[in-house]
A and B are shown apart, each in its own frame.
Chain A
Amino acid sequence: MSSTEHTELPAYEAPDRNAHGRLDDTGDVYEMLDDAHEALAHAGNAYEALNDGDDPRWAYGTGFADPLAGVDTRVPDGVDGADLAAYCLMLGDDALIMSHRLQEWCTRAPELEEEVALANIALDLLGQARLLLARAGTADGSGRDEDALAFRRDAGEFRNVLLAEVPNGDFAEAMARLLVFATWRLALLERLTGSRDPVLAAVAVKGVKEVAYHRDYAAGWVVRLGDGTSYSRERAVAGLAAVWPLVTELFTPHEVELRLASAGAGADPSALREGFDDVLGQVLTAATLTRPTDTTFTQSSDTTLTRPTDTTFTLPRDTAPGRPAGRSGTHTAALTDLLAEMQSVARAHPDATW
């Protein structure tokens, strides 16, 4: 067709509403586009439009402010500020690192619904991490903000349990790991709703509601896989076996946890085991799976963990028997790799704001 023969296009007509009136807001979309075009014409180019003025709403989801803005962050009497900070760092690091491993499922989950679920769970945990890290920075008086704590600490300064940091396996392993993590964390947060630190108690009250959904989600999948086909069952058994060596550490108290528990602000993790076993028992019975035997890896020799995928890695040997590895800052090499990725942008642009 030559350029002179162009046909005039019919004027655009908005489609009729369907039976359910779902196109109600069609007009609004065009108004929004008009507004956007006007703003672009005014600003000259897209980048100027985005940065127009001091409005922090330039892109959706940014404009992050201090998650504890305006919250009373005084440390209650009888609670040591440094201990409280160390404790919040432990719980915040658990959430941050577990969130990162769940985020790694984005674009890799078996179905869209599962991808959305895993991303939502990761987002809840990231929110909990932000509040807890911000609390750590106010409790010890250092004033370090959430970014300083998340992006400018090395692996040895992280206090998360090893369960949160080990590399991802297959989907069945992810469900076994999330079931263990969420069951343990829910039991912990339930105790912390009565913490003498009002900030920690408030974070826990909200966290309980969120993590209850996470636990139900993972439990549903463990049952579906365990009581499914012979192949799904095989994967479920292997996934459970891969995460079980990391269970003992969850209930091994660190001295900071014990001190905070005595001060009425924290919880002794060893007291959570009974409730954990009860819930896991219900799930595994429904899934027709057998509970693996507990193993302790911190005591004498290096333990190589075999995974359902073809990766194996060595768990750290703790110098002090019976001490929780992650809570003492002893981690697997996997955490160093994870941090290299998670912190790369913040470390490359230390003064950037977003």
Chain B
Amino acid sequence: MVTARGVAGAVADPELPMLTLADLGILREVEEKDGGAVVVTITPTYSGCPAMGTIRADLFAALREAGYADVQVRTLLFPAWTTDWITRDGRRKLAEAGIAPPGTAPVRHGPVPLTLGPAHRRLDCPNCGSGDTEELSRFGATACKSLWRCRACREPFEHLKEL
């Protein structure tokens, strides 16, 4: 059976097209009202995420195609998205696409401590599995990724940063 949640959840993320919005965890609520209207609530990943407008348009298009004529898309800013909301399936798809999935996001109480020097976490290379990897840059091609390199297989790879 086609549900609005199923349709909305299956929309691909424009910047990480191997993930659906459901995998990414940004779909907060899909409400089907009695009259057939659908209200979708999404939350941005980063404040400046340039994909939000595209995601909204993709949701409208997918739901209209599935027969939902009356669609509203709402933004929810709180609680803020965290990479912990990426599903297990989503993490597997990231790794399969050569992107090292995020670890557990840090839980903080009080001021954020300063981190000097390279990242202390260790990542396994998504290409060869070696743990002999290093961070090249904490910023990458999109706001959510950092750049890494594997010393064993020499392949560069991306990592979805914990947020």
Q: Determine if A205 and B127 form an interchain contact, defined as CB atoms under 8 angstroms apart.
A: no
Query: Is B50 part of the binding interface, using a Cβ–Cβ cutoff of 8 Å?
Result: yes
User: In the complex, which residue of chain A has the Cβ closest to the Cβ of B83?
Assistant: A209
Among B2-10, B30-38, B73-81, B85-93, the stretch that binds chain A is: B73-81
Partner among A61, A64, A209 whose Cβ is within 8 Å of the Cβ of B80? A209
Q: Report which B residues bind A (CB closer than 8 A).
A: 14, 41, 44, 46-54, 56-58, 61, 72-81, 98, 111-112, 114-117, 127-128, 136-141, 143, 147, 153, 155, 161, 163
Provide the A134-176 mask, 1 if CB < 8 A to any CB of B, else 0. Answer: 0000000000000000000000000000000000000000000
**Contacts A61-B54, A117-B138 given: A283-B48 contact, CB under 8 Å?**
no
Q: Determine if B58 and A217 form an interchain contact, defined as CB atoms under 8 angstroms apart.
A: no
Q: Determine if A223 and B56 form an interchain contact, defined as CB atoms under 8 angstroms apart.
A: no
User: In the complex, which residue of chain B has the Cβ closest to the Cβ of A58?
Assistant: B57
In the complex, A224 Cα to B75 Cα: how many Å? 40
Contacts of B163 in A (CB 8 A): 209
In the complex, A341 Cα to B76 Cα: how many Å? 33
Contacts of A206 in B (CB 8 A): 44, 46-47, 77, 80-81
In the complex, A20 Cα to B99 Cα: how many Å? 13
Supplied contacts A62-B53, A117-B137, A186-B112, 16 more A-B pairs, CB within 8 Å: A20-B155, A22-B98, A57-B58, A61-B51, A61-B54, A65-B53, A71-B74, A71-B77, A123-B50, A127-B44, A131-B47, A131-B77, A205-B79, A207-B47, A220-B117, A275-B111
Top 7 closest pairs, chain A to chain B, by CB = A127-B48, A70-B74, A127-B47, A202-B77, A63-B53, A202-B78, A117-B139
User: In the complex, which residue of chain A has the Cβ closest to the Cβ of B39?
Assistant: A70
Query: Is A260 part of the binding interface, using a Cβ–Cβ cutoff of 8 Å?
Result: no
Q: Determine if A20 and B127 form an interchain contact, defined as CB atoms under 8 angstroms apart.
A: yes
**Contacts A113-B136, A206-B47 given: A67-B127 contact, CB under 8 Å?**
no
Q: Determine if A130 and B48 form an interchain contact, defined as CB atoms under 8 angstroms apart.
A: yes
Contacts of B111 in A (CB 8 A): 187, 190, 275
In the complex, A71 Cα to B77 Cα: how many Å? 8
Q: Determine if A286 and B77 form an interchain contact, defined as CB atoms under 8 angstroms apart.
A: no
Query: Is A199 part of the binding interface, using a Cβ–Cβ cutoff of 8 Å?
Result: yes
Q: Determine if B75 and A216 form an interchain contact, defined as CB atoms under 8 angstroms apart.
A: no
Contacts of A186 in B (CB 8 A): 112
**Contacts A70-B72, A70-B73, A113-B137 given: A128-B56 contact, CB under 8 Å?**
no
In the complex, A279 Cα to B112 Cα: how many Å? 10
In the complex, A57 Cα to B56 Cα: how many Å? 10
CB distance from A91 to the nearest CB of B (A): 12
Contacts of A217 in B (CB 8 A): 138-139
In the complex, A117 Cα to B73 Cα: how many Å? 31
Q: Determine if B147 and A123 form an interchain contact, defined as CB atoms under 8 angstroms apart.
A: no
Q: What are 6 sample pairs from A and B whose C-beta atoms fall under 8 A apart? A: A57-B61, A61-B51, A71-B75, A127-B46, A203-B47, A205-B80
CB distance from A164 to the nearest CB of B (A): 16
Contacts of A70 in B (CB 8 A): 41, 72-76
In the complex, A119 Cα to B50 Cα: how many Å? 13
Partner among A20, A127, A282 whose Cβ is within 8 Å of the Cβ of B98? A20
